Amino acid sequence: MAQIFHRSTNTISRFTIFGALVVTALGLWTALQLERSPYTTFAGVARPQPVPFSHAHHVGGLGLDCRYCHTSVENSGFAGIPPTKTCMNCHSQIWTNAPMLEPVRQSFQTGQSLVWSRVNDLPDFVYFDHSIHINKGVGCDTCHGPVDRMPLMYNYASLQMEWCLDCHRRPEKYLRPRQQVFNMRYQQPDEFHPVEFNGQKYTGQDELGRALVKAYHLRTVQDITSCNTCHR
């Protein structure tokens, strides 16, 4: 019986099948990289704001404590956005005619709040409580990055689930004493920079972290990585 298809058909078929697999795998890899990229997460991207508020100036330069503006961060799930009155505590005395602060003065006079663009914005299906993290020894800059060196605020991290789980699976790597939570220049302990906690000096983060996990009564890793801990 005569051969219907040319011998090269086998080669073409193999090439087509394996080529389709490669293209599919490459497409999936590209999609995953895009999902993790700043294009999707906005990590490192400064959002436009009604007033170009500089954390580098106010926190790094003037030394304002985070809690001066974010008053509810220690006892509420939401860190809190300061009212215009907080801004005017200082700016009724200094920079009183600065053009860039006109929206602040207008807001104070009219009582209409400024509409800020939320930078660290989690999806609605994620439950997050600031006070829990603060009281368990998670520093502000652990999640928000070097805020005291940000002229304009931006996402330091991707805020994706894999990023959260990295901490929840190994919390001892990130914890610090509570009195150091708002210290933007905190350094994890080493032999040259020991950290004191409960009268004992620690020269390694793992050792300090285990002590903090026990002292601050952290729930088990199984509990804090459970789906219903963050998705309620």
d(CA 153, CA 149): 9
- Per-residue pLDDT, 32: 78
Helix (H) or strand (E) holding 196: strand 195-197
64: amino acid identity, one letter: L
Q: What is the pLDDT of residues 82-126, one digit of tens each?
A: 999 999 999 999 999 999 999 999 999 999 999 999 899 888 999
Domain ranges of the chain: 8-38, 72-79+120-230
- Enter the pTM of the model: 0.83
- Per-residue pLDDT, 12: 76
3-state SS of 92-161 is CCCCCCCHHHHHHHHHHHHCCCCCCCCCCCCCCCCCCCHHHHHHCCECHHHHHCCHHHCCCCEECCCCCH
Q: What is the pLDDT of residues 135-169, one digit of tens each?
A: 999 999 999 999 999 999 999 999 999 999 999 99
